[in-house]
Structure 1
Amino acid sequence: MKTNLVDLSFHELETFLVGLGEAPYRARQVWQWLWQKGCRDIAAFSDVSKSLRAALAEKAEVRWPEVAREQVSTDGTAKFLLRLADAEAIETVLIPEKDHYTLCLSTQVGCALGCTFCATGKMGFRRNLTPGEILGQILVARQWLWDRESPLALRNLVFMGMGEPLLNYDNLLAALEALHHPQGLDFSSRRITLSTAGIIKNLATFGATGLGSLAISLHAPTQELRERIMPVAKTVPLDDLMAALNKYPLKPRERLTFEYLLLDGINDSPEMARELVRLLSHVKAKVNLIAFNPVPGIPYGAPDPGRVEAFQEVLRQKGLTATLRKSKGADIAAACGQLRAEGAAAATAQTP
């Protein structure tokens, strides 16, 4: 199989081109075509010599994930089912904000953690995504916006889609480094957030890179409840997770974001809110509350709005910053916990 150029880091691209007999500086030209211009046709690299284009075409290709299906919500959220080269599939979600778009990125096909409220967890783990497959989601989404001449640009990236990012750390790191390249996609670390379900391995290493902010999918303030709804808590107890987070490197005035999915009658009581305040009292924290979006086959219901408000008020009264995230894309199963990549084999490319 030909080398996929979007899977290569900048230095790997340099090495690849040197292997073709080219000078290392040629990598900068090719890199800009791949990332700044989003060009998939090697023959169109107009400022690259014909001989190099011919050599590249023989040995390499520019392969993006294939859009097998796209859906657009009534609120403007777009969800893409992307088919990969081996026919596996993932989903990525483009979310409109007031003055920009945010992209929710997947890092794995499926997920091994099996959180009981998450549709992705029911898929099980299939495999890790390559750096090019992670970054390819951005290229697809950006091209979709370009094609529609969107006045709003893609500005924020959140690794909150399918999979656990810290269990695909090497490929994630390669993707993050490419994201920051000034001649590439050139995303600021302030615009990138990684969400973990509570994996300690690679946690401090990621923090030391400064390549993005951290969010923790907590969803329960006690070990007993967390273990019941999130099996990862059996191998990473809550006390161990909080101890690791207490040592996590933060910039001045930076806080950790804790995501808390409110499940009807499970974790949405005022008592649970007070437990959460106690748990987070020793870390610099803010809480992002999310009302559960019902998913077929998942045994939970959406919380009563009054209970959501009461939960949030307890946190606020105790001095804890707590915002309620408005779910988007629920009508196309693009909201939090709803991604599952069904129907990839049968889906055909289509527009809404």
Structure 2
Amino acid sequence: MFAALAWSLHAADAELRRALVPTSRYTPSELREGLCAALLARSSARRRRVVLEVTLIAGVNDELQHAHQLADFIAPIERACFDPRRKSGRTGVLINLIPYNPTYNRLAEGETVESRNDMSTLGIPHYSFFERPSWERIDAFQDALRARGVWVSVRASRGDADASACGQLATNRKLAAT
């Protein structure tokens, strides 16, 4: 098995991550410290493997600066996962980029953005306006991470035509309460 843990990080910047994951109680740095401590407590370096999930959202967290922040952020995790016996030279940390899958959950008639969890104070549009980045931006983000020596992949999108892709489970009609 590759990963002992998968962490939905989405942003290394604390303020941006808090906006994207409002239920998070801890900053990314606090979570990283706990993760590194747990990894180092494992007796075998070969079992120190982590997948960090980052959903890329156009204009929100897909800029090259975000890629560089992410590469800086994961450096302590890479050190905690380092195993000199790995012939691949990989650290045991994989960044899995997930292009955003739009739900097209637009505002209902009479509903305002302010009535929902508005993130406009950070310059982030309401989630119903999120879009998938272009493949050029996704490739540039991936290339920036690879240039920094980060092991990175892009998740293939499946099920988006049926509104059943990762993070996309939605319906176009209201379901009756049971």
Question: Is the pair's TM-score, using the shorter chain for normalization, greater than 0.5?
Answer: yes
Query: d(CA) in 2 for partners of 1:237 and 1:272?
Result: 16
Higher relative contact order, chain-length normalized (CA < 8 Å, sep 6+): 2
Residue 306 (1) aligns with residue 136 (2): yes
Query: d(CA) in 1 for partners of 2:101 and 2:73?
Result: 25
Written as runs of structure 1 = structure 2, the 5 A alignment for 1:1-352 is 190=1, 213-233=4-24, 235-249=25-39, 250=42, 251-253=44-46, 254-284=48-78, 285-297=93-105, 298-340=128-170, 345=176
1:314 deviation in Å? 0.8
Deviation by residue 1:223-248 (Cα, 9 ceiling, x = unmatched): 01111111023x21222111111112
The question of whether the paired residues in 1 share the 8 Å contact of 2:53 and 2:97 is answered with yes
1:345 deviation in Å? 4.5
The one-letter amino acid paired with 1:272 is H
The one-letter amino acid paired with 1:255 is R
How many residues align? The count is: 136
Please name the residue that 1:164 is paired with.
Answer: none
1:343 deviation in Å? 5.7
The one-letter amino acid paired with 2:38 is Y
The one-letter amino acid paired with 2:35 is L
> Aligned to 1:247, what secondary structure does the other structure show?
helix
Query: d(CA) in 2 for partners of 1:334 and 1:247?
Result: 36
Deviation by residue 1:145-189 (Cα, 9 ceiling, x = unmatched): xxxxxxxxxxxxxxxxxxxxxxxxxxxxxxxxxxxxxxxxxxxxx
1:336 deviation in Å? 1.1
The question of whether the paired residues in 1 share the 8 Å contact of 2:164 and 2:170 is answered with no
The one-letter amino acid paired with 1:269 is E
Structure with higher Rg: it is 1
The one-letter amino acid paired with 1:267 is N
> Aligned to 1:338, what secondary structure does the other structure show?
coil
Query: d(CA) in 2 for partners of 1:232 and 1:321?
Result: 28
The question of whether the paired residues in 1 share the 8 Å contact of 2:103 and 2:170 is answered with no
The one-letter amino acid paired with 2:149 is G
> Aligned to 2:7, what secondary structure does the other structure show?
strand
Aligned Cα root-mean-square deviation (Å): 2.1
Name the structure with the higher strand share.
Answer: 1
The one-letter amino acid paired with 1:327 is S
Q: Please list every run of 5 or more consecutive structure 2 residues that lacks an aligned counterpart in the other structure.
A: 79-92, 106-127
Deviation by residue 1:13-55 (Cα, 9 ceiling, x = unmatched): xxxxxxxxxxxxxxxxxxxxxxxxxxxxxxxxxxxxxxxxxxx
Query: d(CA) in 2 for partners of 1:246 and 1:252?
Result: 12
1:326 deviation in Å? 0.3
